[in-house]
């Protein structure tokens, strides 16, 4: 990507001399360069916001990537008394994997089905 960024430095302006927006510049990058830039920006966004794996979205709350959620879950559990962990195990087992969680669409479909049954 470094070579691409240097190459793009010369192409950061429109023909009339006005600067190109970041979106305009990125649209000409390869998929690999876009992915690398996204990862870099996400890492910086996480670091800016405390380095805990939380990615804030204005007016939407936070997104926690699955690996960060798993790590935060393990760290938090380690601070809890055994009896609390036992109670949590009834709801959320120790080997909880965030990839086992239902998507928003799946939850909404289940709720719609249950609501339809109530009618």
Judgement on whether residues 79 and 106 belong to the same structural domain of the protein: yes
Mark which of 19, 36, 63 sits at the end of a domain: 63
> pLDDT digit string (tens) for 4-15?
554 545 566 666
d(CA 66, CA 109): 22
| Span 19-41, pLDDT tens digits | 878 888 888 889 999 999 988 98
Tokens encoding 49: 């916001």
- Judge if 56 and 3 occupy the same domain: yes
Report d(CA 115, CA 73) in Å as an integer.
32
Domain termination residue (choose one: 35, 63, 91): 63
- Mark whether 48 and 82 lie in a shared domain: no
Please give the backbone phi and psi of residue 103, each rounded to the nearest 5 degrees, phi first: -75, 165
CA distance 66 to 97: 8
Find the domain containing 31 and state its range: 1-63
Q: Are residues 92 and 108 in the same domain?
A: yes
Torsion of the alpha carbons at 83, 85, 90 and 95, rounded to the nearest 10 = -150
Q: What is the pTM of this model?
A: 0.43
Q: How many CB atoms lie within 10 A of CB 48?
A: 10
């Amino acid at each position: 990507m470094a070579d691409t960024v240097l190459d793009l430095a010369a192409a950061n302006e429109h023909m009339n001399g006005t600067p190109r927006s970041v979106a305009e510049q990125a649209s000409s990058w390869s998929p690999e360069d876009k992915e690398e830039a996204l990862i870099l920006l996400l890492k910086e966004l996480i670091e800016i916001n405390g380095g805990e794996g939380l990615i804030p979205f204005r007016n939407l709350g936070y997104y926690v990537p699955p690996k960060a959620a798993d790590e935060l879950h393990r760290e938090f559990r380690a601070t809890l008394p055994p009896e609390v962990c036992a109670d949590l195990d009834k709801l959320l087992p120790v080997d909880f994997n965030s990839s086992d969680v239902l998507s928003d669409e799946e939850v909404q479909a289940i709720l719609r089905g249950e609501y339809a049954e109530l009618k």
